[in-house]
């Protein structure tokens, strides 16, 4: 038996199949899906006076594809289709046993998704629960990951990069205006809405995010992805919204040349590189890129978080109007492909090392 979590207003009761997409008046009134109760592990406060819980079968509402879109340590992602509207969505199936001890990550992600509604942020459309799993239905984002799609393009210019960075910043601006810090911005968490010529770029994966109680709250937990994490996170001196700005700077740098600004032979060396705050615009790859682009990168990756540019000031930077149309695709494709090959090689070495250690322990 599935429990379906929806909300209604007392004066305007929701019909059985109440969703954002097929009830326009609810879109107009900005009524949101929120959870009143997920019986075993997740609880959240209602934003509307009175909640109503409707039990509906997931299979009766959606046609679930057998094709797996992605896998992770907590479950799988499949494609599903709303039988009423024909709209395709992503269905994330979270195994409760797999997430034991890390329930807060899922709880955080759901709390964030319930609060947001922006074209550059993935949208939560529906939510179900069974005894063994939680089912999260969101935008399909069929266009795929940022860099995987870029390297398949026929052309890619600095102007194209500026459009992508602007979309990322607009999504971050919405999050920051709603007192949400993402804390794990990276290319893998940026998905295209579809495979059209001009898709939206959407921010995903809010498991490490934090909803601030106050505008200037200081966060202390070190989290993020090596290579994109801000120096103040590594120093553990406290951090906030500026960590997202730093990450956007790293992403922008990578979008323009195909490699990240900081590196090292191992994670310790990488962290030392980030803590130094020193990066270079190598002549071979940056000679034709505009000074406006380099200036914005410098502002996004200002070492002192208190002096780092804000998201709204970044959106007003002249680069978004002055970016050149020089084709960057060859350099970006070459450097990104080399990085991907190196990453695979490192993963193989790490896997062999783990197997050897396991073999030694078993002996």
Question: Which residues partner with 211 through β-bridges?
Answer: 180
Are 171 and 313 found together in one domain? yes
CATH number, residue 45: 3.30.200.20
Let me know if residue 206 belongs to a domain: yes
Specify the pairing of strand 201-203 against strand 190-192.
antiparallel
**In a shared domain, residues 240 and 280:** yes
Please state which of the ranges 121-130, 238-247, 268-277, 338-347 shows the lowest mean pLDDT: 338-347
Higher pLDDT, 247 or 222: 247
Same domain, residue pair 283 and 163: yes
Domain that holds residue 84: 3-139
Quote the DSSP letter at residue 9: B
Name the pLDDT band for 209 (thresholds 50, 70, 90): very high
Is there a single domain that holds both residue 93 and residue 178? no
Report d(CA 41, CA 271) in Å as an integer: 36
Domain check: are 107 and 149 in the same one?
no
What percent of the chain is modeled with pLDDT above 70? Answer: 77
The pLDDT of residue 14 is 38
Same domain, 25 and 107: yes
Q: What angle in degrees, to the nearest 10, is found between the helix axes of 242-257 and 329-362?
A: 110
Check whether residue 213 and residue 339 sit in a common domain. Answer: yes
Are residues 326 and 229 part of one domain? yes
CA 264 to chain CA centroid, Å, is: 25
The two three-digit tokens of residue 226, written as one number: 């090596």
> Domain boundary at 121, 139, 157, which?
139
Assigned domain for 348 exists? no
Domain boundary among 93, 120, 139: 139
The answer as to whether 75 is a domain residue is yes
Shared domain check, 284 and 181: yes
Q: Is 163 helix (H, G, I), strand (E, B) or coil?
A: helix
Give the Å distances, CA to CA, from 292 to 120, 282, 302, 317. 24, 16, 15, 8
User: Looking at the domain assignment, is residue 213 inside a domain?
Assistant: yes
Neighbour tally for 295: CB within 10 Å: 13
Binding residues for ATP: 92
3-state SS assignment for residue 349 = helix
**What is d(CA 351, CA 236) in angstroms, rounded to the nearest whole number?**
30
The residue from 139, 166, 192 where one domain ends is 139
| Active site residue ranges | 184
Number of domains in the chain: 2
- Here the tokens at position 352 are 């062999």
Q: How confident is the model at residue 54 (pLDDT cuts 50, 70, 90)?
A: very low
List, as one string, the DSSP characters of 206-258.
Answer: -TT-EE-SSTTPPB----S-TTT--HHHHHTS-B-THHHHHHHHHHHHHHHHS
Residue 340 pLDDT: 58
Residue 193 tokens read as: 């809405």
Say yes or no: 180 and 260 in one domain: yes
Residue 310's pLDDT band, with cuts at 50, 70 and 90, is very high
CB atoms within 10 A of CB 309: 20
- Reported as a single tens digit per residue, the pLDDT across 146-156 is 988 888 888 89
- Residue 361, domain member (yes or no): no
Residue 31: inside a domain: yes
pTM of the model: 0.80
Q: Domain of 263: which CATH number?
A: 1.10.510.10
| In a shared domain, residues 170 and 303 | yes
Residue 362 in domain: no
Query: Same domain, yes or no, for 78 and 211?
Result: no
Identify whether 234 is part of a domain.
yes
212 token code pair: 């601030």
Q: Pairing state of beta strands 3-7 and 124-129? A: antiparallel
Sheet holding 190-192, edge to edge: 144-145, 190-192, 201-203
């Amino acid at each position: 038996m599935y429990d379906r979590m929806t909300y209604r207003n007392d004066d305007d009761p929701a019909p059985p199949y109440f969703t954002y997409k097929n009830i326009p008046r609810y879109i107009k009134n900005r009524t949101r899906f929120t959870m009143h109760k997920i019986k075993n592990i997740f609880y959240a406060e209602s934003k509307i006076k009175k909640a109503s819980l409707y039990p509906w079968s997931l299979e009766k509402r959606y046609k679930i594809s057998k094709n797996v879109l992605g896998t992770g340590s907590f479950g799988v992602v499949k494609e599903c289709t709303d039988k009423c509207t024909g709209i395709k969505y992503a269905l994330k199936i979270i195994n409760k046993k797999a997430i034991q001890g890390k329930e807060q990550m899922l709880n955080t992600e759901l709390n964030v998704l319930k609060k947001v509604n922006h074209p550059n942020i993935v949208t939560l459309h529906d939510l179900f629960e069974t005894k063994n799993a939680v089912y999260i239905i969101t935008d399909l984002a069929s266009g795929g990951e940022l860099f995987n799609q870029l390297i398949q393009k026929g052309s890619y210019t600095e102007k194209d990069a500026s459009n992508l960075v602007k979309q990322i910043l607009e999504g971050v601006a919405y999050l920051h205006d709603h007192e949400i810090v993402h804390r794990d911005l990276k290319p893998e968490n940026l998905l295209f809405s579809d495979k059209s010529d001009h898709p939206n770029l959407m921010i995903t994966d809010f498991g490490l995010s934090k909803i601030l109680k106050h505008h200037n709250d200081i966060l202390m937990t070190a989290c993020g992805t090596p290579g994109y994490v801000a120096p103040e996170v590594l120093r553990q001196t406290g951090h906030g919204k500026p960590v997202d700005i730093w990450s956007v700077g790293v992403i922008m740098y990578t979008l323009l040349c195909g490699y990240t600004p900081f590196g090292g032979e191992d994670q310790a060396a990488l962290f030392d590189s980030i803590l130094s705050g020193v990066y270079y615009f190598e002549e071979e790859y940056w000679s034709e890129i505009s000074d406006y682009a380099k200036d914005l990168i410098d502002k996004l990756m200002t070492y002192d978080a208190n002096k780092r540019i804000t998201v709204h000031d970044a959106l007003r930077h002249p680069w978004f109007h002055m970016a050149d149309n020089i084709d960057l695709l060859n350099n970006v494709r070459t450097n990104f492909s080399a990085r991907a090959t190196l990453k695979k090689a490192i993963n193989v070495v790490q896997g062999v090392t783990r197997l050897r250690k396991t073999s030694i322990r078993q002996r």
